[in-house]
Structure 1
């Protein structure tokens, strides 16, 4: 009976979850229900999948609207009709300038329902009907349509479940219209009566027009859209070649051809593994998936692009031989069943990382070479703090009140009525979809047209994007291709190129000599001592401390560390247990005998995702299919699904039947539950470790070139200034940008690093392009006059270059140059100056003798670069009187020390009591790291106050050879006043 139902995927309009909509319909006695979200098909497939649970036949369609103005509803009579609706909707989603017309198109297998209007003059075609809302019934009695009852249907819209939903809807509409709630036009709202009436009530409402009820029932009965959610057969592109048989022949050929490339003397173990994998890949219908990945990466290699194949795909020797991954699964004893097994219904995927510079070209290649291709969407939902801000604006609260609410600086009893409403409704809409965004990496290549499943929209990147996310894609059997962007690969590639020009006398770097890197003593030294700033995945404070605690100096040790660092392992307490068992063999006796037998390499501690499968299978007695459901369930995406809950119960039942104690079962289950969703597959960690070794090699032998590459790829874990600092610690001489020597990016010559123009915050891209273009065409600039003549720029842009001392080659003080520039440069810039045969000599003004101090220069560096090129300790109003350095702390364990530290980064966490504490990282006066812990009382009393030098007092503590300070007090040191705004006689000299 309901032809026009909205879920909360009618973005910023609807308020009901798709499954809740089905539950309401079931409760009210309906066996058929149409989902028609506004200009959106995001929920359609999930609605169809869930409908079986509620014994409801799903009907799919779209409510076409311009804003809140309903034009018509299209319902799919069949899958073909749904395809046609998606085709039509996508036209408008691809071109936002188009308005949805008043008249619906003629589409095969599609029903059209127009909203009733007294001035309705559009002649209705055979598949078209007029929808009558309850409020239209009286007008209908006096309309010409009363005699054409065969064309009339019930149109009771469903957008809300109750009054609170309607209030929420009004707030969402106000957010969407960027207006105060009090100024929201009625035309932008739905009706408060747009909710689901019980079957009997609906019949009574239309009792004078029983034909409408009959027509509506007939129309719904005529609709039948079916999708297969069994995932028995993948729905991706079926074949890469002309047939599935020739696909398999090609896969076998290139797999065996890769053996000689990967192995010097392959043995029977390798050939047996290849045969087993090929058979499973064929049986599961994943042959074309492997071949498409092979094709993409073959193209990448032809373009010289660096890439890393990671994720559970690294567990496959076929992937290794096809050069999709660089991890040998035989060497690492990787569990192929983690990637594909005969019981696994969900599709696998490869995660392929490219440099951020190369990724867009790879995406373009995929769209150009494979039909039925689309990017995957992600649902950006309302987060609590953002919702508080949005709703507070809608209620018209002042900025001070909004800031107080978003930062949680309030006592609820003290709040006024509006502020309380903001908090109530912010919690209510938390998790509602807000808008569709782009999945970080997912691309699908379907056998059927994408619009068979969904409409697509066109984000700024210009590639068609589905309206559903990766979970729905998997539900329907569309497994994604993950094409990711990663700065680490850009750093490695650029560093190799930089080494070529800065060390032409040396042989080319073989960055793929991973076997050699694993044995390299210099790399081992960096790992053991965690001297890995800038190196992929091993530079963060937490990873640096873990490497020290584990004394990692082997490949396998680094592989384990890459997964142990993930949140769940630490949360379960097993990170500490792993460190103990790794360092002190006697602790390994604490492991459960079964777990130690299953995971001897990690001392009976679950470290990798596949450990969940092993423990569930061998310890919990689950089948491989059940174990994989458990492993996936831990990801959080499926935790609420019933199949996961039943597998969890089976785990407990089986363990009890085997005679395991309740305490042991709960202990092991806690480990599984707390970390499995966050830990890596072993192959994933192994792939990361390969990239870490490549960056560690570059850091060990070419630290300056590697830091330049790091800077040019926008750093990593830390801010730009700390990579500049790291370069200086390795003997680099850092120069501010120079108009004659610098480029857009940082540039190294010998040991001198010239920062690039891109690091100047306010310098425009077109300024940089004009400068570099002119310099390349006509040579270096001789003077400021020469620069002004050749590069037409506004005074603001030239001032930036002067202030950063970019004209220091002239030998003229920059204060004089600034005066000169202001006198000689027009306010209005002429972009295309006329070329003159005779250059007019510029007027030379006699300038007063001006000077600038080192301190002034430093503050200008702070303003333009965001950091000084000298030590930040030189800027303190009073030199620190602390004597302790990072290197002294090991001698004062257990004692109270006071140190000075320049803040690098902080990390907050929430204790079991929901109190906030922090971990801090600082640099001492010599440039070495100091790590700190700030427990809740201290964190509250002595908060961080932004960038700067702090005096920290606390107890020096040591754990597994790693030193940190448990802070008891912390004060930020005052810096000198900016001399540019201080009278000259009050300035304090500084030596940088």
Structure 2
């Protein structure tokens, strides 16, 4: 009877989750519901599934109690609104009807076309219009009018009585009670960006829009029983049971070849064996057995097409585009993936087991993570969308929720609070004070009800779905600004429905590698095989650099924490780097397992394993769980869980499992099963503590291995071709550190780095031999059009002759050319900056002269003899600091008032362990962490006057007295400590030093 139910997926309108709606309906004895969220079908399949699941669970319970069980019949549809006004509601008769409604909505979303006054004729869906006083339209066979009980008073003389078989009971459901209605009002105010008191009544739901019993609803229409009969008849013709599956079936594209499954099997097998020869040459029986085992499981799970589609994407990227990629994640556990060049990680070499990616008992679908360079990913995405038919390919969506302090801001705005009040309410330092404030208590009450409610739909970072049947059977599509059709639900719902995503991701590290290889070819005329990883990992020079822990610019291993870890481990080989890539993760570090690993790494003979099973499974990592695979192994071999449950628990540890109830059941199952294995309670508790510390942070071994491969490739380029590599890092917008750090590293390579020059610089940094010219990108205030035009004009028509020639050819404005002059970008003229500033004002004045055509004769402006104008290095340094963010030709230390440079340098710290020293450091970065007592402490990174890095620790008792104050040079008093051979400074006192006053400020 309830044809128009809104869940919280009716964003900023509905207030109840699907679970709450079903629970309430069951309490009231309701037998049928139609979910019709506003302009979306996000919850459609979830609603059908949950109705059936709860029904099955309750049937068993009620039968046991001797009661007559029942199920709620789920029906779904879509409510179509334009500019907040209800137009009509579509209700699906069946799966085809759902597709019709979804495609109608998708078409208007994708092409940004307003909904028509009347929708097209749907073969398998009903249309219900809201009752109007003057509704006179002749209705089609599938069209009806919904009438509310309060509107029955005007029905007696209404023209629709002539079509009384078209009238339906209309009782929309939006809230659950008065409190829910108030929450609805807040949501409407937030949506309309207005004050709570100014939300128009026609923009809210009715106060009566909550579920009541079917008897109550029928009683409201007792004078018109035919309306109730019409409504029941319509619902009876609807059947969406096909959406409930006891066992999830894959919805991905099932067939890649035209000959179907058998053709896919044959093609995958052929490609795998071709790749086997490419990867191994003469392969062993062990490798062959592994390949056959994987192919058998892939065929059994019907994932051949999934592998072939991924192979097709990689083949296009390599052969057609010349793109470099990294295949990572659990897919790198697969030998088949290695043979198909989806990944460059050798699973045989690393003893990676395929079951982490796919096994016979796995119910949830696996996926591949494929990284491309940040500026090449969109090309691959466009290929995928062109390669597969409309309605069969779409981006995965995400659902952001109301959470944290952002809710307080939203609520405060609609209540009309001032910015100052809102800021004070979101200040964690004023939490105790706020709790005594009546207004804050009111905000907090609303906050409690609103938190975690859906807020808005968005797009997944890189997940793409490719389906066998149209995706519109399961969802409508949005068209976000990115320009690709996107489903209306997230990865969790995709998994429940049966979709495996293709993760097409991007990272800047690949851009570093790609451009460095191109620059080496251009600058040195050398061809580099960057995929020759086997040579890289055995290169003693590379491993020596790795051991020193100074790989600035290298992917994933340049951060202060990683540099420290490399030095503590004395890491000089690939396998140790693989482990380091995983134990650096916060979960491992905060649990104390990182420290335990380092200790055991240096003293493997002294390792005491928790038990024999743990020794057998974790001997490679000295009894410490380092990888996600370790969780699976321990759960399976120690606790006795089957691989399926172990894998689900592993997913929960990674934050990819959203059912807390199911997770809690698995935890109980872990303890019960472990006890059955005969383990002591104390041992089980400790093993579980180690497992749970992984929550949300651990890597799979294959994932770490993929990162380590890329790190070695970066390290190779940094070691043998440092100039080109650092230019590539700068041109791909750096990495962990600020831009000036990479410019500093480029200077350390011996390259002569020049300020931007209109006659030498391009948009990005360029290098010729050992001469590097900074690009125009990164110059503060320089407009994008000028960044592009200046080098384009020079390449097209030759070098600029002088200031006048430059201004005429680029049509640059006075303000913009002043920026370039101040930075020294017109120094080719032979004139100093101040003379040029005088000249440009003399030439341009305060008006831009437009030159829209070539001059027949060159007209010159008058020259004036100027007295010598003072131009100081200090002034230029401050100008560079202003326009670039750093002085290129002037050290930050030289800006200081003091000439003191510290008594100890970074290179000599290891000679002063246990001593208190004074050092001078140029601030690089800082990291804030929370202690066990929930106090804050900091880790700092600095450069000394010689350009060497050193690290500091700032404990909670000192930092509030001696805080960080941003960029600049600091005087540091601290004690030198050493941890596994890595020296650092525990700060006792800390102060930012004063700089010389800029000559510009004096002027």
Superposition TM-score tier, normalisation by shorter sequence? over 0.9
The reply on whether 1:628 has 2:685 as its aligned counterpart is no
Secondary structure at the aligned position of 1:581 is classed as helix
Instruction: Name 2:61's counterpart in structure 1.
Output: none
Instruction: Name 2:498's counterpart in structure 1.
Output: 477
Cα 1:406–1:724 change in 2 (3 A) is farther
Distance 2:359 2:596 in 1: 31
Instruction: Name 2:239's counterpart in structure 1.
Output: 224
The reply on whether 1:933 has 2:933 as its aligned counterpart is no
The reply on whether 1:977 has 2:1001 as its aligned counterpart is no
Answer whether contact 2:976 2:984 (CA < 8 A) is retained. yes
The reply on whether 1:376 has 2:396 as its aligned counterpart is yes
Q: Aligned match of 2:345 in 296, 317, 327?
A: 327
The reply on whether 1:673 has 2:692 as its aligned counterpart is yes
Shift of 1:149: 4.0
Distance 2:896 2:209 in 1: 65
Shift of 1:479: 0.7
Distance 1:483 1:874 in 2: 47
Shift of 1:81: 0.4
Q: Aligned match of 2:167 in 149, 152, 172?
A: 152
Secondary structure at the aligned position of 1:902 is classed as strand
Answer whether contact 1:39 1:63 (CA < 8 A) is retained. yes
Q: Aligned match of 1:63 in 45, 69, 79?
A: 79
Cα 1:49–1:917 change in 2 (3 A) is farther
Answer whether contact 1:591 1:603 (CA < 8 A) is retained. no
Secondary structure at the aligned position of 2:86 is classed as strand
Distance 2:202 2:864 in 1: 66
Shift of 1:943: 3.3
Answer whether contact 2:122 2:142 (CA < 8 A) is retained. no
Distance 1:950 1:188 in 2: 58
Answer whether contact 1:32 1:59 (CA < 8 A) is retained. yes
Answer whether contact 2:610 2:683 (CA < 8 A) is retained. no
Secondary structure at the aligned position of 1:501 is classed as helix
Distance 2:345 2:792 in 1: 44
Q: Aligned match of 2:479 in 448, 455, 458?
A: 458
Instruction: Name 1:45's counterpart in structure 2.
Output: 45
Instruction: Name 2:59's counterpart in structure 1.
Output: none
Answer whether contact 1:75 1:111 (CA < 8 A) is retained. yes
Shift of 1:427: 4.6
Instruction: Name 1:986's counterpart in structure 2.
Output: none
Cα 1:241–1:440 change in 2 (3 A) is same
Answer whether contact 1:412 1:420 (CA < 8 A) is retained. no
Instruction: Name 2:561's counterpart in structure 1.
Output: 542
Answer whether contact 2:329 2:369 (CA < 8 A) is retained. yes
Cα 1:142–1:859 change in 2 (3 A) is farther
The reply on whether 1:737 has 2:751 as its aligned counterpart is no
**Deviations, residues 576-629 of structure 1 (Å, cap 9, x unaligned):** 111111111244124432111012211122111111111111111111122122
The reply on whether 1:906 has 2:926 as its aligned counterpart is yes
Answer whether contact 2:136 2:160 (CA < 8 A) is retained. no
**Deviations, residues 247-296 of structure 1 (Å, cap 9, x unaligned):** 11111111111122111321101111111111111111001111111111
Which deviates more from structure 2 when the two are superposed, residues 406-415 or residues 368-377?
A: 406-415
Answer whether contact 1:378 1:438 (CA < 8 A) is retained. yes
Answer whether contact 2:87 2:130 (CA < 8 A) is retained. yes
Gaps of 5+ in 2: 56-71
Distance 1:210 1:851 in 2: 97
Distance 2:999 2:445 in 1: 50
Secondary structure at the aligned position of 2:777 is classed as helix
Q: Aligned match of 1:237 in 253, 258, 283?
A: 253
Distance 1:823 1:140 in 2: 83
Instruction: Name 1:786's counterpart in structure 2.
Output: 805
Answer whether contact 1:7 1:159 (CA < 8 A) is retained. yes
The reply on whether 1:646 has 2:665 as its aligned counterpart is yes
Instruction: Name 2:62's counterpart in structure 1.
Output: none
Alignment of 1:349-360 (within 5 A): 349-360=367-378
Instruction: Name 2:196's counterpart in structure 1.
Output: 181
Q: Aligned match of 2:916 in 879, 885, 896?
A: 896
Answer whether contact 1:799 1:818 (CA < 8 A) is retained. yes
Instruction: Name 1:288's counterpart in structure 2.
Output: 305
Instruction: Name 1:884's counterpart in structure 2.
Output: 904
Alignment of 1:592-991 (within 5 A): 592-675=611-694, 677-825=696-844, 833-869=852-888, 870-880=890-900, 882-983=902-1003
Secondary structure at the aligned position of 1:14 is classed as coil
Distance 1:644 1:380 in 2: 22
Shift of 1:228: 4.9
Instruction: Name 1:138's counterpart in structure 2.
Output: 153
Cα 1:332–1:450 change in 2 (3 A) is same
Answer whether contact 1:231 1:475 (CA < 8 A) is retained. no
Secondary structure at the aligned position of 2:970 is classed as strand
Distance 1:437 1:289 in 2: 25
The reply on whether 1:270 has 2:287 as its aligned counterpart is yes
Shift of 1:879: 4.4
**Deviations, residues 484-530 of structure 1 (Å, cap 9, x unaligned):** 111111100100111122223xx422211211111112211121111
Which deviates more from structure 2 when the two are superposed, residues 757-766 or residues 935-944?
A: 935-944
Instruction: Name 2:101's counterpart in structure 1.
Output: 85
Gaps of 5+ in 1: 984-992
TM-score of the superposed pair, with normalisation by structure 2: 0.94
Instruction: Name 2:69's counterpart in structure 1.
Output: none
The reply on whether 1:164 has 2:179 as its aligned counterpart is yes
Shift of 1:547: 1.1
Distance 1:357 1:815 in 2: 39
Answer whether contact 1:814 1:851 (CA < 8 A) is retained. no
Distance 1:830 1:558 in 2: 60
Secondary structure at the aligned position of 1:763 is classed as coil
Alignment of 1:453-602 (within 5 A): 453-504=474-525, 507-602=526-621
Secondary structure at the aligned position of 2:500 is classed as coil
Answer whether contact 1:314 1:329 (CA < 8 A) is retained. yes
Distance 1:917 1:50 in 2: 46
Shift of 1:654: 1.6
**Deviations, residues 294-324 of structure 1 (Å, cap 9, x unaligned):** 1111111112100011111111111111111
Distance 1:86 1:791 in 2: 51
Cα 1:469–1:967 change in 2 (3 A) is same
Answer whether contact 1:231 1:476 (CA < 8 A) is retained. no
Distance 1:412 1:600 in 2: 50
Distance 2:941 2:228 in 1: 70
Secondary structure at the aligned position of 2:788 is classed as helix
Answer whether contact 2:52 2:244 (CA < 8 A) is retained. no
Which deviates more from structure 2 when the two are superposed, residues 517-526 or residues 75-84?
A: 517-526
Shift of 1:448: 0.6
Cα 1:158–1:912 change in 2 (3 A) is farther
Distance 1:881 1:273 in 2: 61
Cα 1:301–1:937 change in 2 (3 A) is same
Cα 1:910–1:192 change in 2 (3 A) is farther
Which deviates more from structure 2 when the two are superposed, residues 279-288 or residues 825-834?
A: 825-834
Shift of 1:124: 2.2
Distance 2:162 2:957 in 1: 78
Answer whether contact 1:229 1:477 (CA < 8 A) is retained. no
Instruction: Name 1:989's counterpart in structure 2.
Output: none
**Deviations, residues 131-162 of structure 1 (Å, cap 9, x unaligned):** 22344233445544456543222222222223
Which deviates more from structure 2 when the two are superposed, residues 761-770 or residues 511-520?
A: 761-770
Instruction: Name 1:248's counterpart in structure 2.
Output: 265
Cα 1:586–1:824 change in 2 (3 A) is same
Q: Aligned match of 1:99 in 109, 114, 135?
A: 114
Instruction: Name 1:987's counterpart in structure 2.
Output: none
Cα 1:485–1:231 change in 2 (3 A) is farther
Secondary structure at the aligned position of 1:442 is classed as strand
Cα 1:333–1:767 change in 2 (3 A) is same
Cα 1:215–1:840 change in 2 (3 A) is same
Note the aligned Cα RMSD (angstroms).
Answer: 2.1
Secondary structure at the aligned position of 1:537 is classed as coil
Answer whether contact 1:956 1:963 (CA < 8 A) is retained. yes
Secondary structure at the aligned position of 1:977 is classed as coil
